[in-house]
Structure 1
Amino acid sequence: MTQVIAVANHKGGCGKTTTVINLAAEFARSGLNVLVVDMDPQANASLHLGKKHPSEVPITCAELLLSEVEKLPAAIYEDNHIPGVGLIYGSLQLGKAEDELKDDTPRPSEELRQKLAPLMGLYDVILIDCPPSLKLLTSNALAASTHVIIPIESGSQYGMYGMTDLLRHVNRIRRINPQLELLGALLVKHDERQTVCRLIEAAAREQIGKLLPIRIPTSTRVNQAAMAQTSLHSLDRSAKVTREFRALAQLLAQQLQLRATSQLEEDVEINGEES
């Protein structure tokens, strides 16, 4: 069974794209067949991962949502900057597509699920990068997913802003997608020494009730990897932020019963001994 993980939070700058890119890279490095679906009009995941500019791509998520499912093969790009990670591009046209879905389709929240249905069983894991909103694009991502991760910027006093609205939205989507499961909140830019980070962690545990045990630290390596259009592992495999994403990938692979290779497990064990 293909596991489909939406990475969602309607707050911008909380690490959604960074999480998608580096989880995808770690999953692919472990031998899993991985696809990234970029549902964000800003298309940052596509700019990081893809070898084309989104404006040069004839069929992005926008066109796919509004077309027949037969166009799906043409929307998938396998030759990207991170080996083993496929991509369906995002684009600015997703904003327009959102309006057209609302006006022209009978079940506007379920178009992505319908379009991705032929891929079930072909990929081990599909990661969906959601836009910073709770509108129709995010609804489509959640309705198409088996699981959701909520990244939270731990180093900001606004990290938990609007979290009640997000959780309410997830529960509404469960009416059409009962299998949707919350994997947990992922604390990003976390520093246990800072009071604000400890307060955000306590608030997340109280409001969300489920925290992933991995904490992603602040690191200049994140921006450096984005500029180089590569993964954190390729940039600096020994960095703490790289080790944490590696540990997160192993945790999720075990939890979701994805087939893991000894390479991923060995890396985590080695780095655990180093730390």
Structure 2
Amino acid sequence: MSTKWIAVANHKGGCGKTTTVVNLAAEFARNGLTVLVVDLDPQANASMHIGKKHPSEVPVTCAELLLSEIEKLPQAIYDDTNIEGVSLIYGSLGLGRAEDDLKDDTPRPSEELRTKLAPLEGIYDVVLIDCPPSLKLLTSNALAAATHLIIPIESGSQYGLYGVTDLLKHVNKIRRVNPRLELLGALLIKHDERQTVCKLIENAAREQLGKLIPIKIPTSTKVNQAAMAQTSLHVIDRTAKVTREFKELTQYIMNELNMKADVK
């Protein structure tokens, strides 16, 4: 099976990008797939959640990988993480500086991540890329490396779709260097069918983005509990509605992308 490279991107903060990446990674791994998370966010929240080390203790993070020779790749991958079956390339504060250096020092600055990760094609079943809340060069690198894109939308906020037109323009621009990039769809986060604002955001997202993922992630205190415990929702409460929805989301993606499961 060829590797599926899935970027989770939205330049609006607090819309559930990291929550989506972490719990998708855990569910993919539970289905017997080999999984790598690439943390491209300088805040490194995915790394703090999944990783056993603090990003400041890691010698080769995404920042060093982007600016180094490709030989650094094996040093950047950590297989021993808090979530069984999920490997990690750490993010770090250094990504902010790396973004500036890429612009100055590389001829094709938006394609460095794709180049550095190219040897992993066929080694992992799925690579999930957690993007920063911006449309700058780090997100461009993620989109240029990805085969598929998920756009989390905060359904419970009237500002949930703020700037989505700019995001779509950016995606279309990146498709010039990465024509294989496909939109898996918008993923509604913190969704409550009973709230008018959620219904309005759902309709507007369908109209603006053209494709909605049919699974909707509800608001739940379990999300913060899992983050604090540095584990997945499945470990915190496998019967919770939010856990079940992430399980369904994983199955939906696997069906869409013809990924075969070996459930553990």
> TM above 0.5, one fold?
yes
How many residues matched?
A: 263
1:268 paired residue number: none
State the Cα distance separating 1:261 from its structure 2 match.
2.5
Structure 1 unaligned residues grouped into runs of 5+: 264-275
In structure 1, what is the Cα distance between the partners aligned to 2:71 and 2:133?
29
Cα distance between partner residues in 2 of 1:117 and 1:257: 21
What secondary structure is seen at the aligned counterpart in 1 of 2:84?
coil
Match for 2:32: what amino acid? G
Identity of aligned residues (%): 79
Q: Secondary structure at the match of 2:184?
A: strand
Indicate conservation of the 8 Å contact 2:32/2:263, yes or no. Answer: no
What is the CA distance between 1:259 and its match in structure 2? Answer: 1.3
Counterpart amino acid of residue 131 in structure 1? P
**1:262 offset after TM fit, Å?**
4.7
Question: Per the alignment, in what secondary structure is the counterpart of residue 126 of structure 1?
Answer: strand
Paired amino acid for 1:98? E
Cα RMSD of the aligned pairs, angstroms, is 0.6
Deviations 1:98-124 (A, max 9, x none): 000001100000000000000000000
Aligned twin of 1:57: 58
- Work out the CA distance in 1 between the residues paired with 2:202 and 2:182: 21
Give the structure-2-normalised TM-score: 0.99
Matched residue, 2:238: 237
Please show how residues 42-53 of structure 1 align to structure 2 within 5 Å. 42-53=43-54
Q: Is the 8 A contact 1:250 1:260 kept in 2?
A: no
Q: Is the 8 A contact 1:214 1:248 kept in 2?
A: yes
Q: Following the alignment from structure 2 to structure 1, what is the Cα–Cα distance between the partners of residues 258 and 119? A: 21
CA distance in 1: counterparts of 2:174 and 2:257, whole angstroms: 21
Q: Deviations over 1:38-90 (max 9, x none)?
A: 00000000000000000000000000000000000000000000000000000
| 1:207-237 deviation per Cα after TM superposition (whole angstroms, max 9, x unaligned) | 0010000000000000000000000001100
Matches within 5 A, 1:134-153: 134-153=135-154
Whether contact under 8 Å (1:143, 1:173) holds in the other structure is yes
Q: Which runs of 4+ in 1 moved over 3 A?
A: none
Match runs of 1:14-29 below 5 Å: 14-29=15-30
Q: Is contact 1:61-1:75 (8 Å) kept?
A: yes
State the partner residue of 1:34: 35
User: What is the letter of the counterpart of residue 168 of structure 1?
Assistant: K
